[in-house]
Structure 1
Amino acid sequence: MNKTLTLIPLLVGACWVTACSDDGEQGLAGTDGLNALTSASALAIGHEQCALGGQLLTSGIDLNANGSLDTEEVNSELTQYMCNQAVGQLTASLIGRYQSGVYGLSAAEIVDYHVMSQRIFVVNAKSGKVDVLEASSLNLDDAVIGAGALALNNLTKVTEVDVAADLALKRLGGVNSLSIYGDLLAVAIERADDKGNSKQGRGYVAFYRLDDSGEAELIQQVEVGYLPDNVTFNRDGSLLLVANEGEPNSAYTLDPEGSISAIAITDNIPDPTAIELSFNEFNLGAAREAEISSLIKINGPGASVAQDLEPEYIAVSEDNHKAYVSLQENNAIAVVDLNQMRIESILALGLKDYGLEHNKIDASDKDGQVNFVAYKGVYGMYQPDTIQSYQWKGANFIVSANEGDARDYDGFSEEVRADDLILDAAHPQLAAAQDKTQLGRLKVTTSMGDTDNDGDMDNIVSYGARSFSIWDEQGNRVFDSASDFSRITAAVLGDNFNNNNDENKGDSRSDDKAHEPEALALGKIADKYYAFIGLERNGGFMIYDISNPFDVSFVDYVVNRDFDAEFEIDTDTGEVSGDATLVGDLGPEGMKIISAQNSPTAEPLLVIGNELSGTTSVYGLGF
């Protein structure tokens, strides 16, 4: 179907169908003294005729002379679609790409950029290494589209940082995250415990000094919490923050506490020890127990609150006073006061109502069609993965990519299909939940939904929100992209919307978090703030203008994937059946905006690490 790099522009277009005269004016002559009328109605983003929205113009003769164009008076031959297209909007053009040749083994995840050397650093997770790519030769004139974009491989890997070997510690595992500030590179690596649990030991952060050519020298190694999953420098480089996820083992017999580590950096030298911020005060019977809302999902068997909370990603406010930490499995965000170095609050994000028309979803991978329905009594937890922060009018806002995640382990699983739930007899979806072409196959939690504690489910609660959101500092949602992502990808990709990323099988994810917004980057370009949101399953990314969080607008959807290619990737072994070399980019995991000031092209760039395809792609951003 779609084999090209799809750049969908926005511009109020010209007349499309009939009823346009040679000079472009619209008109319809009256008949026997009756008036000719034209009616205009808005087309939402994702309309089958206008993927980016627009206007529908209908015309006809006012036969009953009532002054309005009634349905039976519309002349279908004169219908026009005025579609939005692009003029003066931000565009993204693929100019650089590196193919590692490693599929399904997380060979390209989190990315960052070193200004002095003009090199891109990429987490090659399972290898325990960081790949280093040369970006100095990037050129905006090298933009490619179509088959050229799928095959592009013009970036060179010049070296690698072998973190596991450099630390020389037993039981080290995969690299999970990295961050660069000035000439400091910080890398998080997980560690097994001494009982054979692969991720349940305390992890480490390795600090490297980067010289002007990008060569890395290990200068410090700091023990942090259990399973460090994200590292983030604050805005002035005086502090490194670490989100320690503290995942349980597969049997769920060991569940380390989640925490946040803070490593001070003085005169560009990292401290040898970290401060650890614990959630113990929120445990049952502890001083702050009452602050845990019932909308914060705490459901690990026998787990304390501190064990159950799993920090995923950290964003620092522009004023450098606050850090925001996504607690993905718990459907919450922790707020950290960086001046007092304490956890200020835990914000419950609540539920997204799929019974509202603007939030309607396709909940089945077995319906054989694109089928959006508003299901009353069905909800989604926001459960953000990546979060970022920016300011508007001096106030801090949090932007979240609402991927969703279930606890699904050998020793405990909360995940079932909707048709497995025992619903309250009065639930409005009692029948639909037993139909696999409607709600029956939707993956839902057994840990939320019984609001009256009588043993049956009063609400159906699923994972993720299929969107991105903007929140104020108190956790109030001020914007959500509603069903935009689903409607846009359905309009552009047709039957390939909600596709998985390990094979081309059409609609295979509608029942399971759909396209899964995961990666997220914010950039200020030409005095406007833009959000770039990567869709893990479908591939590609959305662009939104978020300059005003109360007046957000969609800009573009860009995807570099061949949905006709026959391939399948085994994510356990990395084995590939078929030819994946020309499939394109699969599974955007990490994103980084390079400002024009720091860019090798003197224009802003977007760098993306694509986990499944093991590719790193670079887009030039311009107008």
Structure 2
Amino acid sequence: MKKWMMATSTVALIAALAGCNSGSNDDDDDGVAVPPPVTDPVTTPESIALSFQGRYSSNEFGVSAAEIPVYDPENQQIFVVNALNGSVDVLDARDLANPARTGSLTVEDIAAGAVVNSIAYHNGFLAIAIEAASKTDPGFAAIYDATTLQLIDSTQVGALPDMLTFTPGGEYLLVANEGEPSDDYSVDPEGSVSIIALDGGTMGDVRTADFTAYNTQADALRDAGVRIYGPGASVAQDMEPEYITVATDSSTAWVALQENNALAKINIADAQVTDILPLGFKDYGVAGNGIDASDEDSVLNISTWPGVVGIYHPDAIASYNLDGSTYIVTANEGDARAWGEDNDLYWAGDASQGFVEEFRVKHLVHANGFDRRAGDDLPPQLRELGAGALLNPDVFGYCGASAGEPGDCREDDALGRLNITWVDGYRKNSDGSPVMFDTTGTENPTGDRLMYDKLYSYGARSFAIWDENGALVWDSGDQFEQYLASADCFAGSNRDIPCVDYFNTGHDEGDAFDSRSDAKGPEPEGIALGQLGDKTFAFIGLERMGGIMVYDITDPQAPAFEDYFSTREDFELDPETNLAAVGDLGPEGLYFVPAADSPSGEALLVVGNEVSGTTVIYQIDQL
């Protein structure tokens, strides 16, 4: 380990988390949770914890056989997206310990080759987002009777409908049309949000909130921090709506534009995008925002890294109302554009065959330049900018960078392994072209080196709370990684597996300590909010490490850690060959069930795990 490494102290944070956790986990000395008593569901709990109730397994590994769940209280059944089959599995949830599959809902009657991407439930109706056989073609939204599973109505929407939701009052169905490009970027549909008027389960007018009005504002949006960078894309083409949350009065929607690192604000009645709100970047040089940046140093090293920032890139978002104000809660997953990455022609230098923005720091700033990676992982668009890149020694001098040399910054136990985007961070002229330097680090118009003043990594390894205009209210900082690295964290349904032994392990592999530290760490992806009495709680799924983080967010400026619960039961086994024994891997979608709707009378959390293909029911124990 280099003597200049600035390891962030974990003592104060872990003590604080342990203090929070001591009230939410009545564990015995062996770390085994003591079952709590049944509580009045309308009572405001002092704290909460999760306990395992039951599991349905598709017995399919790594093929997204369980993604997005919703719960139907009228029939006490769970609907879950099975992307493997392009359909919806129907589970009987009356016996929480033994949810059983009773059928499947397919969408072949909508369009040939169409598949299910997402689902939503409201008052006896199930809405389904349906991707066309070619993802760049317009997709569909459909509504089914949740009891009979009969199709009621359907309509065409934009390309790649990725998520949909009812407004709280059921007046509208909103569909996020992501509009991803084809792998070679030859076709790039516009992103949009379809707003469908409803009369019960019947669809009325379909209007589109699009981004075409912003096509003339590309430079201003980029200057504000909105990431618009797809090759040849207009603003409308570059926007990729991922997830929607709606105000309690059904007047306003906020849409996660994940790849663009922004939120869109929509007036629902007018079907207009009224604002694009850049989320900014998370400074990993600030105490409390540290990350473990390497997967090959074989140690825990949650450190601060000046000059390195995280792109929030939220996936799932949710919202809640407090004293008349809406707060948006985001799971800051991170997401790189990687199109054509399986095309040999692209890596051979044909930029028309794709676009990959991800690159390791050690390959970006090697003194010998980019061509050493040609034919391997060198994006041709990066090579068109220059023959190599340098680190600004005024920023990165702390890890040894000097004029023309990266020093120890590119070593594996420093920043070398970290995946970053080459698109952002290099010094630019006023027209957007790169400022060129020579190999000595001297600015020189005839030089062939880029100069990186910042390094932009994917995601923020956190969840965050924003106000309705996109201003950051609170971020969990490095609490996720610090807790997973602490002696207080235990995984497994019996809470007996030390998390620290499997820190930042991947969800699709056996024992792989630290394997995700170079990427997005524990990778928070899914989120659900739940109201218990007078308190609001956030449940955040960690896609890679697995498990659910629980926070009391009643005060949006001072959320409190409540619990971490993982039902990954064995980290040593290869999950592909030991699926039944390893437990639950890759939480994707989370759904809160209020106590009043639950078969047991206790509030529940339903989680779809895409890697293990399992749908899990947790009880929310009020302590």
Tell me which interval the TM-score lies in, with the shorter structure as reference length: 0.7 to 0.9
Q: Any idea what the Cα deviations from partners look like across 1:572-596, whole Å, max 9, x if unmatched? A: xxxx3x3111101101000110111
> Residue 511 of structure 1 corresponds to which residue in structure 2?
518
- Paired residue for 1:44, among 12, 16, 34? 12
Q: Which amino acid aligns with 1:215?
A: T
Structure 1 position 426, deviation (Å): 2.7
1:216 match: secondary structure = coil
- Select the residue among 402, 413, 422 that pairs with 2:356: 413
Contact 2:65 2:83 in 1 (8 A): yes
Matched, 1:364 2:290: no
Preserved CA contact (<8 Å) 2:143 2:201: no
| Contact residue 313 and residue 335 of structure 2 kept, 8 A | yes
Determine the structure 1 residue equivalent to 2:459: 464
Percent identical pairs in the alignment equals: 44
Conserved in 2, the CA contact under 8 Å of 1:128 and 1:175?
Answer: yes
CA contact 1:46–1:490 (8 Å) conserved in 2: no
User: In the alignment, which residue of structure 2 is the partner of 1:502?
Assistant: 508
Letter paired with 1:555: E
Residue aligned with 2:596, SS = coil
Shift in alpha-carbon separation, 1:512–1:289, aligned structure 2, 3 A: closer
Tell me the TM-score normalised to structure 1 length: 0.80
Alpha-carbon shift at residue 456 of structure 1 (Å)? 1.3
The amino acid across from 1:107 in the alignment is: A
Confirm whether residue 396 of structure 1 aligns to residue 326 of structure 2.
yes
Residues 474-523 of structure 1: per-residue CA shift (max 9 Å, x gap): 11101000000001111231131111100121210000001110010000
Which of 479, 483, 486 is equivalent to 2:478? Answer: 483
Q: Secondary structure at the match of 1:46?
A: helix
CA contact (8 A) 2:209 2:266 kept: no
SS in 2 for 1:166: coil
Cα shift at 1:44 = 2.8
Aligned to 1:112, what secondary structure does the other structure show? strand
| Map 1:338-353 → 2, pairs under 5 A | 338-353=268-283
Secondary structure, counterpart of 2:563 in structure 1:
strand
C-alpha separation in 1, matches of 2:420 and 2:18: 31
Do the aligned residues in 2 keep the contact of 1:496 with 1:563 (CA within 8 Å)? no
Deviations 1:70-119 (A, max 9, x none): xxxxxxxxxxxxx9x99942011111210111111111111111111000
Identify which of 281, 290, 297 aligns with 2:213.
281
Contact 2:294 2:517 in 1 (8 A): yes
The equivalent of 2:62 in structure 1 is 104
Residue 321 of structure 1 aligns with an amino acid whose one-letter code is S
Aligned to 2:607: 608
AA of the residue aligned to 2:357: E
Alignment match, 1:538: 545
Deviations 1:419-464 (A, max 9, x none): 2332224332433431111110100011111244423111011010
> 2: CA distance between counterparts of 1:382 and 1:325?
14
What one-letter code is carried by the residue in structure 2 that aligns with 1:277? A
Q: Deviations over 1:162-196 (max 9, x none)?
A: 12x232x2342x3110001011111111113xxxx
Tell whether the 8 Å contact from 1:44 to 1:53 is kept in structure 2 after alignment: no
Whole-Å Cα distance in 2 between the matches of residues 357 and 42 of structure 1? 11
CA 1:432/1:392 → structure 2, altered by over 3 Å: closer, same or farther?
farther
Which residue of structure 2 aligns with residue 312 of structure 1? 242
Whole-Å separation in 2 of the counterparts to 1:580 and 1:251: 35
Partner of 2:254: 324
Q: Secondary structure at the match of 1:487?
A: helix
- Displacement of 1:341 after TM fit? 2.0
Shift of 1:205: 1.0
Q: C-alpha separation between the residues in 2 aligned to 1:274 and 1:320?
A: 17
Q: What amino acid does structure 1 have at the position aligned with 2:103?
A: T
1:448 corresponds to:
424
| Aligned residue identity for 1:597 | A
What residue in structure 2 maps to residue 254 of structure 1? 187
Task: State the distance in 1 between where 2:161 and 2:84 align.
Answer: 14
Distance across 1 between alignment mates of 2:475 and 2:297: 27
CA separation of 1:350 and 1:42: change in aligned 2, threshold 3 A: closer
- Contact persistence 1:594–1:605 (CA under 8 A): yes
Q: Distance in 1 between matches of 2:621 and 2:571?
A: 30
User: Helix, strand or coil for the counterpart of 2:590?
Assistant: strand
CA distance in 2, matches of 1:217, 1:407: 38
Structure 2 equivalent of residue 187 of structure 1: 128
Q: Relative contact order (C-alpha < 8 Å, sep 6+): which is higher?
A: 2
How much does 1:203 deviate?
0.6
1:239 to 158, 172, 177: 172
Q: What is the CA deviation profile of residues 314-355 of structure 1, one whole-angstrom value per residue up to 9, with x for unaligned ones?
A: 001122211010000110000101132211100000000000
Output one character per residue of 1:381-406: Cα deviation in whole Å (capped at 9) or x when no partner: 00000000101121111000000000
Q: Name the amino acid aligned to 2:473.
A: V
The AA in structure 2 aligned to 1:190 is E
CA distance in 2, matches of 1:362, 1:290: 34
Structure 1 unaligned runs (5+)?
Answer: 1-40, 56-82, 143-153, 193-197, 569-575
Match of 2:493 in 1: none
Q: RMSD over aligned Cα, in angstroms? A: 2.1
Residues 1:177 and 2:123 are matched in the alignment: no
Asked if 1:435 is matched to 2:441, the reply is no
TM-score normalised to structure 2 length: 0.80
Larger CA Rg, structure 1 vs 2: 1
Tell me how far apart the structure 1 counterparts of residues 326 and 426 of structure 2 sit (CA, whole Å): 35
**Paired residues of 2:59 and 2:579 also in contact (CA < 8 A):** no
Q: 1:51: Cα distance to partner? A: 6.2
